[in-house]
């Protein structure tokens, strides 16, 4: 297990800005973005979100009133538009069972909520964790590609999302805000310093050591 996540957080805190990763307070916009960003970049997602905002103002009830063809056309810029529109509809229909009450859902047990999200076709491990952290205010580690590359550079052999996440000893002191910060910092760091070995050697974390126990 990797036991010094708090030390990694403190190391990041010394040189990273305390900026918000999502430039919005709208939980529905975050939820839609988390699905649309799968296998694409944020520029494409922005086009799709612009379309959805203009037509629905991100209101889930309005999105569910759209025809399948209408929704597909709106999210087309993000790629894989048929699969993503279907995932959005399945997820929002799941929310409808809770009367779209985010607080009610957030009050669920963490493991139960994660299990329910993963049971929705199109919601994978990473998307589920992003929703838990950013939409429902839960605290967990998002073991995305940037995290996998970072930990690999730090000497931990990574073989995928589940494997890395299962090896993280997540501190109880890490609340949802810290979970958001750490995820955002890892992505921002990766975009600069994980491009190649030369960039890695210029980064402030090149000497950071992970602490492991069996």
Encoding tokens for residue 54? 């203009």
3-class SS of residue 212: strand
Residue 19 confidence (pLDDT) above 90: no
* Mean pLDDT of the region 32-40: 95
Cα–Cα distance, 72 to 202 (Å, whole number): 43
The pLDDT confidence band at residue 18, using thresholds 50, 70 and 90, is confident
CATH numbers and ranges of domains, the chain: 5-20+141-201 (no CATH), 27-136 (1.10.340.30)
* Mean pLDDT of the region 18-36: 89
Residue with the larger pLDDT of the pair 143 and 18: 143
Output the CA–CA distances (angstroms, integers) from residue 51 to 26, 55, 58, 61, 83, in the order listed.
16, 6, 10, 16, 17
Beta carbons within 10 angstroms of residue 90's beta carbon = 15
Nearest to 9, CA basis, from 145, 175, 120: 175
* Mean pLDDT of the region 175-182: 95
The pLDDT confidence band at residue 194, using thresholds 50, 70 and 90, is very high
* Mean pLDDT of the region 59-71: 97
Cα–Cα distance, 173 to 148 (Å, whole number): 22
Cβ contacts of residue 106 below 8 Å, gap of 6+?
113, 136, 137, 138
pLDDT digits (tens, 9 = 90+) for 118-152: 999 999 999 999 999 999 999 999 999 999 999 99
Cα–Cα distance, 209 to 34 (Å, whole number): 31
Q: Quick one: pLDDT at residue 75?
A: 98
Q: What are the φ and ψ backbone dihedral angles of 40, each rounded to 5 degrees?
A: -155, -175
Q: What are the φ and ψ backbone dihedral angles of 8, each rounded to 5 degrees?
A: -65, -40
Q: Quick one: pLDDT at residue 17?
A: 83
Q: Quick one: pLDDT at residue 22?
A: 83
What mean pLDDT is reported for the chain?
A: 96
Beta carbons within 10 angstroms of residue 168's beta carbon = 16
* Mean pLDDT of the region 88-104: 98
Nearest to 194, CA basis, from 151, 161, 141, 143: 151
Q: Quick one: pLDDT at residue 74?
A: 98
Q: Quick one: pLDDT at residue 35?
A: 97
Q: Quick one: pLDDT at residue 214?
A: 65
The runs of H, that is alpha helices, within 78-167 are 81-96, 102-106, 110-118, 125-134, 145-153, 161-166
pLDDT more than 70, % of the chain = 99
Cα–Cα distance, 206 to 18 (Å, whole number): 21
pLDDT more than 90, % of the chain = 95
Residue 20 confidence (pLDDT) above 90: no
Residue 185 confidence (pLDDT) above 80: yes
């Amino acid at each position: 297990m990797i036991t010094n996540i708090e030390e990694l957080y403190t190391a990041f805190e010394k040189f990273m800005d305390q900026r918000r990763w999502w430039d919005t307070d709208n939980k529905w916009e975050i939820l839609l973005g988390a699905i649309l960003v799968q296998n694409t970049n944020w520029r494409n997602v922005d086009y799709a979100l612009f379309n959805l905002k203009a037509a629905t103002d991100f209101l889930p009830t309005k999105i569910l009133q759209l025809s399948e063809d209408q929704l597909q056309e709106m999210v087309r810029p993000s790629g894989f538009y048929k699969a993503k529109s279907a995932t959005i509809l399945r997820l929002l229909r799941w929310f409808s069972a809770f009367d779209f009450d985010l607080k009610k859902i957030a009050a669920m047990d963490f493991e139960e909520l994660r299990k329910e999200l993963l049971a929705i076709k199109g919601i994978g491990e990473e998307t589920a964790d992003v929703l838990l952290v950013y939409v429902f205010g839960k605290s967990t580690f998002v073991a995305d590609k940037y995290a996998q590359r970072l930990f690999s550079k730090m000497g931990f052999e990574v073989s995928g999302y589940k494997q890395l996440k299962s090896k993280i000893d997540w501190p109880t002191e890490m609340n949802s805000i810290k979970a958001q910060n750490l995820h955002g910092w890892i992505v921002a760091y990766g975009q600069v310093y994980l491009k190649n070995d030369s960039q890695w050697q210029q980064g402030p974390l090149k000497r950071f050591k992970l602490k492991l126990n069996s």
